[in-house]
Amino acid sequence: MVSNPQEAHLAPSDSSHSVPQVNAETPVNAPGPIAIDSFTDDTNSEFDDEASDLTSLSSSVLEYEYENGRRYCSTRSGVAMMPNDEEEQDRMDITHHIWLMLLGGELYNAPIGSNPQNILDLGTGTGIWAMDMAEKFPNAHVIGNDVSPIQPNWVAPNIEFIVDDFELEWPFEPNHFDFIHARCLAGCVASWPGFISRIFDHVKPGGYFESHESAVWAWSDDGSLKEDSALMEWQQAINYAGEKIGRDLNIYYKLKDWMIAAGFVDVQVSVYVLPFSPWPRDPHLKALGRYQAVQLQQAIDSYALRLFTQVLGWSSEVAQIHNAKVKHELRDKRLHAYVQTVAVHGRKPFYAC
C-alpha cells in the first residue's frame, strides 16, 4: 500500500517548493490484496479513452463564470471549486450510478422506514438522487438544495428544487426532516462540525442523516501506484490546496466522530472499495472499475483546475498538461489503484428537541 509522500510539489517538477504531508487515514484496516485480472484477451496496456470525451456546451450564460474552458457558479465566486457545466453534470450522474452499485442498488443505508414525509438532499447537483427518492416515496415531500440552478424544470409534483447556499441560514423549520442526505460535499463545506450540527437541528427526533463521501486519495496493494507518479503529485497538490483555503478534501474518516459530537446516535459506517479501472478479477469490482474509470477522466479536471490555478498559482496550461499526464496514467492497466468510500448514517435521539 502506498503511504502518503513526505512532500509534494506546488507545481509539477518544481522541487523548490513543498507542501506538508496530507493525512489520508482510512476508517478501517485496508482490505486484503484485490485479485488482479490477467487481461489475457487484451494485450493493450491502456484503457480506451472514448469515455473521456463526454463534453458539451451549455446554452445558458446566466450567473456563471468561465475559466480554464469550464463553467462555474458565480454566486460563490472564490469558494465554489467545482464546475457546473454539462460535462460536470454528466460526471455527477455517473457518480450516482456508482453509488447505486456500491450500495447494492439502494439510495441509502439508514433504516428510515417506508413512510418518510420530508426529505432533504443537500448539494443535490443534477437532482438525480432527489428525483429517485421522490419516485420511491410518492407521499413524501422531497427538497433538493444546491447553489447551481442545473436541475430539470419538469419533475414529479412531490419534489422541489431550491437554489440556496447551505452554508448560509437555512429557510427550514427545526426538527422538520425525517431524512437528510448529503453526498460528495468534500471541499464544499468550510466547517463540517458546524454543518452537521445544523443538520442535527433540522432532523426530527428519530429521523436520520446519511453522508456519502470518498477519500480523495488513492492506494495500491502491489506498489503499482508509484510515489513519484503524476497521480500521487496530483492528489497531494489538491489536498494541500483544499487545506490552504480551509476546505479539507479528506474528511471521510472524520464523519462518524463529527456526527456523534453533534448528538447523533446509532452511528453506522459502511466502507466500500472502489477500483480506479476494471483491473480487479472480481466481476462486481471490475464493473465498478469500468464506471469509475470514466468518472475519473472527468473528475481530474473538475477537482483540480480551479485549485491549481486560483490557489496554487499554476498557469492554466501547466494545470491542464499535468492533468493530462494523470489521466494517461489512469488508463494504464498496470496501475492497480483504488479508493475507499464511506456511507455514514446516524439517528437523532427521540428525546432530542
Residue 85: per-residue pLDDT? 66
Residue 58: per-residue pLDDT? 34
Q: For residues 175 and 103, is the Cβ–Cβ distance under 8 A?
A: no
Triad 67, 72, 75: Cα angle to 5°: 125
Residue 64: per-residue pLDDT? 56
Helix (H) or strand (E) holding 95: helix 86-102
pLDDT < 50 regions, the chain:
1-11, 13-22, 49-62, 77-78
Q: What is the pLDDT of residues 236-253, one digit of tens each?
A: 999 999 999 999 999 999
DSSP string, 123-191: T-TTSHHHHHHHHH-TTSEEEEEESS--S-SS--TTEEEEE--TTS--SS-TT-EEEEEEES-TTS-S-
Residue 28: per-residue pLDDT? 56
Q: For residues 150 and 126, is the Cβ–Cβ distance under 8 A?
A: yes
Residue 150: per-residue pLDDT? 72
Please state the domain extents for the chain: 50-347
Residue 7: per-residue pLDDT? 35
Q: For residues 125 and 83, is the Cβ–Cβ distance under 8 A?
A: no
Cell of 35: 485479485
Query: CATH number of the domain at 50-347, out of 3.90.550.10, 3.40.50.150, 3.40.50.720, 3.40.50.10490?
Result: 3.40.50.150
Residues found in the chain: 353
Report which DSSP code applies to 204.
E
- pTM: predicted TM-score of the whole model, two decimal places: 0.82
Burial level of 166, CB count in 10 A (0-12/13-18/19+)?
Answer: buried
